[in-house]
Structure 1
Amino acid sequence: MNLSRTRRGLLTATAAVTTAALVATSGGVAEAKPAKKPTVSQASKQFRKAVTVKGIEQHLDAFQGIADDHDGTRASGTPGYAASRDYVVKKLRAAGYKPQVQSFDFPFFSEDGAAQLARVSPSAKTYAEPADFATMTYSGSGDVTAAVQVVDTTFERTETSTSGCEDSDFAGFTAGSIALIQRGTCSFYDKALNASEAGASAVLVLNRGTTDETGPVAGTLGEPGITIPVLGISYDAGVELGAQGTTARVVTETTSEVRKTYNVVAETAKGDPGRVVMAGAHLDSVPEGPGINDNGSGSATILEVAEQLAKQKTLKKKVRFAWWGAEELGLLGSYDYVDGLKADNPGALEDIEAYLNFDMVGSPNFVRFVYDGDNSLGTGVDGPEGSAQIEDLFVNYFRSQKLATEPTAFDGRSDYGPFIENGIAAGGLFTGAEEVKTARQARIYGGTAGEAYDACYHQACDDRDNINRQALDQMSDAVAHSVYTLARSGKSLTSQGQFKSRSARAAGARVQGHGALR
């Protein structure tokens, strides 16, 4: 059996040592009984008590206040994100850290007004968002009423359409028309660029029409550069709008440009700098809301853990905390960090023994998800060597508290992505986003079956009231336990030989974050 896919046991702490002391007694100097140091497990219990929900909630209150003062958002590239960054830095400095603020450029996007799609003639019909259409990320702005012109598609239900992929597809295209293009084999950006260069005033991309690909296309152009409106629409809407003689109206109001944002990184003074445990959470929200669960919950939790860990004197490994920027636009902050180390300081990248990711740990209708380090589900990416031990660390902790868990795949939706691609053992916790809780999960974890884990995911209602305190309490204890246990243990998760093997297996697993590109 392949060892990398076999359950590995939780790494145990180093054996407790005893010391002898001489004490003065009434009769002179006598040898005292050996004093035992607490085991890592015992010390973890004390540390978990120091990490409090009250402390985490104070940070959540601060994030909500920042959003309230800055148009309801903490998105990267906005004043709300800058204020969130400054808050984290201030708290870290007060705890004795020397935080680094690392800037990078990124492609900013926001929808500044409601998009519209309507058929004007031959008969009027208004389409609804999100049921019928969605604005492509990095779409340009405009208010266009024009004839719809079909580009190289017969509306076949297929995954291999090349509609709009070649300049030749636009031969005879009438400038000023709205280009109707079918989703297929090339990127949305290429389709939109070809249409724009052919003189299109807007672009509508209908879905493939195959199984599970009939609804509106919620995609991304990947980067700024397209100045005309681009909407992804359902297959049925596309067929209707593609009828001969159709005129349509398309409206988008967006901002799509390059802006600057930031990561915040801080590490403990104690611990071996050649053996680093990282704990990370993305600090940004989406533009639509304050992002208190996604991901104020993870950011506040590791900030409280960092504050308490600064008081510890006996760490064997250095702990490095990271608050990532621009996660919501494709894990950009964590990629900038890892790619920078890979290019400029590969030795420092190799020094990272484990990366722990905490993205949404207070979902209202929660499940205790643990990242599937050995891909036992078979639905994600295999974690590098050591990832299964990290999974076991969390699972065994929850088991000790008589709390159930279930695995969640490394599916590329959070900041562990660049770490596992580079062979770094990874793991973490998650309480659920837009997917629906099952009846079985409701029996185990409580809550409501048939409803999303977080019904306010990526919405304005992801505010301070969107946190389940029980989930936050349970998950933050597990965060504290995992960080502390790994930092106090003298053992490694993996050998260098295994590291290289898993690095090769994980290569090429990079994902694009939350949006489809084609």
Structure 2
Amino acid sequence: MTSGAALLGTAALIAAAATVVPASADDDAAGRPTARHEANGSVRGVMDHLIELEEIGDRHGGRASGTPGYEASRDYVVKRLSRAGYRPQVQEFDFPFFQQLGPSSFEVTAPTPRTFEEGVDFSTLEYSGAGDITAPVEGVDLALVTPADSTSGCEDADFAGFTAGNIALVQRGVCTFGEKATNALEAGAVAVIVMNQGNTPERSVLLENVTLGGPVGLPVIGVSFADGQALDADGTIAHVVTDTQSEIATTWNVTAETRGSRQNVVMAGAHLDSVVGGNGINDNGSGSAALLETAEAVADMKRTPNNKVRFAWWGAEENGLLGSEHYVAEMAENQPGKFQNIALYLNFDMVGSPNYMLGVYDGNNDAFPPEESATAPEGSAAIEKMYARFFDKIGTGSVETAFSGRSDYGPFIALNVPAGGLFTGAEGVKSEEEAELFGGTAGEAYDSCYHQACDDLGNVSRAALKANTAAIMHSVTKYARSTRTVNGDRTGHEVPPAPARSKATDHHHGAPKAAR
């Protein structure tokens, strides 16, 4: 744990964090020095937290929300916070949980046998139920000629005359995939095949990376438009096998705050969950561990911060920002005064990518096109400037990263809370300019193990962790003293004239899954 003395002022922290390495390893090819600062113990503390999270993931087969590994991760954070003197709060909520337990299979057994390959010829839709089904295939209100425009599966009338016990073949379009599957189930279907729409080249290929939005009680797979056409033949019998777990599960957010401070609240958060089947040590053990180390350091401070600092570890981020969405919605509805007291929100998601950039959220919306950017509440630009100045002072530099609303700050900015944060890159490719600035390898992913089982302790850069941990501690302690640069002399944030939803629909980095 870092002593509070190392955190009491900007000048002391910058001096402590000086000479942070601009590379993707502890020493870069040019022999430039690695990160050395008085708060170096804090980075050892971050690594200690990551070792614990790795052991939890290994013991339980991952740390995804809805699994024992996430519950153990929650308990670890609560224990550390309690030991530091906080009174952590655990917020329980339900969410739709899905994992594919084994490979799916699909074959046509008559009239002309054919075996389909998963990931090439068919896909298992997210939230598909499990089953082993052999039955006739029956088309439901299909439109197989241009413009291929149909309500297929969206209306009760589409299932008029449908034979219960058959596999429903429905076509993309008009309503959500979840609605089509639910309607088919109610009509007596035992499985659903969703074919692509066929009205554009993009909507003719294999239907994949789509979601039903929540659990359904039967197997659901996707195919291309051409394969759907072939399946809509008299006498077609298919065999569908899906091995999934699809259910409503329980998970938790964890929050803890400083005591005895003014009601102006500075929030800092990171999601604690991993994807299914992985330990998630960079995504997002890195942000969670750096935040936990910062919380422990703040607890050691000799004097009470001027502003209340509230730390948050979110559940079910990988399922669509569900933990932060739940927290924001519940507080805004049931405790609007307390929600308005939140002056700003800081987000730390993936701060240790092995081939890293030091990314700062583009709070003034000047670096990315509108389609890649959410509306940044007033004050967000000041947070971006603060981080950029800090990285310049410690000699690393930084780059802007899209303020897309697709991480846990999304629900906050949707209700006009100024926000900012740090990100070291996911599956995106590092540029030549970034390699020149930070070291590492241009043309390769920032994190080649993003959302994979190899996201383990070997998948984090200590150099990135050192720079970002210093930046996190700097920002939290700076705003604990005063948020005037972000929101002036007022308490909290300005309430927007009308609630608006953020663009956040799925995890921040990869493309969101299509729902219709």
Q: How high is the TM-score relative to the length of structure 2?
A: 0.85
Per the alignment, residue 100 of structure 1 pairs with 89
Question: Contact conserved, 2:404 with 2:503, CA < 8 A, in 1?
Answer: no
Partners of 2:165 and 2:430 in 1: CA distance: 46
- Code of the residue aligned with 2:355 in structure 1: it is N
Question: Contact conserved, 2:342 with 2:493, CA < 8 A, in 1?
Answer: no
Residues 325-404 of structure 1: matches in 2 within 5 Å? 325-376=315-366, 377=368, 378=370, 379-404=372-397
Q: 2:186 aligns with which of 186, 189, 197?
A: 197
**Structure 1: tracts of 5 or more residues without a match:** 1-36
Question: Contact conserved, 1:50 with 1:308, CA < 8 A, in 2?
Answer: no
**What's the CA shift for 1:489?**
2.9
Count residues in correspondence. Answer: 478
Which has the larger displacement, 110-119 or 158-167? 158-167
- The two structures, once aligned, show a CA RMSD in angstroms of 2.7
Q: Which has the larger radius of gyration?
A: 1
Per the alignment, residue 517 of structure 1 pairs with 515
Residues 111-122 of structure 1: matches in 2 within 5 Å? 111-122=100-111
Per the alignment, residue 57 of structure 1 pairs with 47
Partners of 2:165 and 2:486 in 1: CA distance: 60
Label 1:249 to 1:411 Cα distance change in 2 as closer, same or farther (>3 A). Answer: farther
Partners of 2:351 and 2:172 in 1: CA distance: 35
- Code of the residue aligned with 2:350 in structure 1: it is M
Per the alignment, residue 84 of structure 1 pairs with 73
Per the alignment, residue 510 of structure 2 pairs with none
Per the alignment, residue 470 of structure 1 pairs with 463
Q: 1:269 aligns with which of 230, 254, 259?
A: 259
Which has the larger displacement, 115-124 or 419-428? 115-124
**What's the CA shift for 1:235?**
4.1
Partners of 1:173 and 1:103 in 2: CA distance: 41
Residues 448-467 of structure 1: matches in 2 within 5 Å? 448-467=441-460
Question: Contact conserved, 1:221 with 1:517, CA < 8 A, in 2?
Answer: yes
**What's the CA shift for 1:299?**
0.6
**What's the CA shift for 1:385?**
1.0
Partners of 2:293 and 2:320 in 1: CA distance: 26
- Code of the residue aligned with 1:457 in structure 2: it is Y
Which has the larger displacement, 407-416 or 255-264? 407-416
1:118-166 Cα shifts (integer Å, max 9, x gaps): 3434544443343444322221111122333332233457696432211
**What's the CA shift for 1:58?**
0.6
Partners of 1:455 and 1:125 in 2: CA distance: 35
Q: How high is the TM-score relative to the length of structure 1?
A: 0.84
Label 1:467 to 1:134 Cα distance change in 2 as closer, same or farther (>3 A). Answer: farther
Label 1:58 to 1:237 Cα distance change in 2 as closer, same or farther (>3 A). Answer: farther
**What's the CA shift for 1:277?**
0.9
Question: Contact conserved, 1:205 with 1:217, CA < 8 A, in 2?
Answer: no
Q: 2:208 aligns with which of 176, 201, 217?
A: 217
Partners of 1:38 and 1:412 in 2: CA distance: 31
Is 1:40 aligned to residue 10 of structure 2?
Answer: yes
Label 1:474 to 1:505 Cα distance change in 2 as closer, same or farther (>3 A). Answer: farther
Question: Contact conserved, 1:217 with 1:234, CA < 8 A, in 2?
Answer: no
**What's the CA shift for 1:236?**
4.7
Is 1:283 aligned to residue 268 of structure 2?
Answer: no
Partners of 2:402 and 2:149 in 1: CA distance: 28
- Code of the residue aligned with 1:351 in structure 2: it is N
Partners of 1:157 and 1:508 in 2: CA distance: 35
Partners of 2:238 and 2:448 in 1: CA distance: 33
Which has the larger displacement, 127-136 or 161-170? 127-136
Q: 1:138 aligns with which of 127, 139, 142?
A: 127
